Structure 1
């Protein structure tokens, strides 16, 4: 499945092609299309982020999880409800503050995360297919430098 970055009719002037922000915007749009096509249902990206975060961070307060992942708390509620209904996460009241929910990934959630990892890996391979292994690693390093906070590695 090949997804061109720009339709054949688009012919951008050289001064636009020098704009890193424009190139990142078009690459991001392409990446979003490719990843969405590889997920097997709606909400895949949010579900993947939540399951990956819980797998790495462990049980955490629902609000803290959203803050750490950079996702809107309101958007996360529907995703968490769907994940819980599927048996992939469990939400329990925080014994120290009953108004707070603690979210944790289940064994089934870890298995689902493995399935989603495969989908994401296939999407990543499609996205960066024109690049060598070294170029892929360099691109990843450079993009991380653009998004990471100074002093944080």
Structure 2
């Protein structure tokens, strides 16, 4: 006899966050099918624009990806000639990352689309709810980053 009751997944934060992530990635892919860029690639390019010459480990921390994942993404961005690795003049073993002119152009071509994607993701909510939702998600993430 089974005495364990199922949990209502539709009321659990973990399940809802996973579903929201699936929805966000799906909308991103649907809207940018011709751009040949993933959400992770966009995040890395965007972070590199803000911090040109950052090393791979620092970049991984900045975009909250493990170094192995970011390394494979950077490899794909290099293959597209959107990112370049350069030796650190102070430590030749350390590689610094920069966005190439082609990478800047690719990023520029999708930035407006990415802004529209964010609007579409939040579209079921009122403007006030959108602001509150983003604020609360930010607090949630920041609260767990301190752990």
Once the 2 structures are TM-superposed, how far is the Cα of residue 16 of structure 1 from its aligned partner? 4.5
Q: What secondary structure sits across from 1:148 in the alignment? A: helix
Paired position in structure 2 for 1:65: 59
Paired position in structure 1 for 2:77: 83
1:70-149 equivalence runs, <5 A: 70-149=64-143
Q: What secondary structure sits across from 1:27 in the alignment? A: helix
**Cα distance in structure 1, aligned partners of 2:122 and 2:78:** 33
Deviation digits for residues 19-77 of structure 1 (CA, Å, limit 9, x no counterpart):
33333232222222222222336651221011111111222112221122222322333
For normalisation by structure 2, the TM-score amounts to: 0.77
| Aligned residues between the structures | 140
Q: What secondary structure sits across from 2:46 in the alignment? A: helix
Deviation larger for 139-148 or 51-60: 51-60
**Cα distance in structure 2, aligned partners of 1:42 and 1:109:** 12
Once the 2 structures are TM-superposed, how far is the Cα of residue 97 of structure 1 from its aligned partner? 1.4
Structure 1: 5+ residue runs without aligned partners? 1-12
**Cα distance in structure 2, aligned partners of 1:80 and 1:15:** 39
Superposed CA RMSD in Å reads: 2.7
**Cα distance in structure 2, aligned partners of 1:42 and 1:71:** 20
Once the 2 structures are TM-superposed, how far is the Cα of residue 102 of structure 1 from its aligned partner? 0.5
Structure 2: 5+ residue runs without aligned partners? 1-5
**Cα distance in structure 2, aligned partners of 1:114 and 1:50:** 14
Once the 2 structures are TM-superposed, how far is the Cα of residue 100 of structure 1 from its aligned partner? 1.1
The answer to whether the Cα contact below 8 Å between 2:53 and 2:98 also exists between their aligned partners in 1 is yes
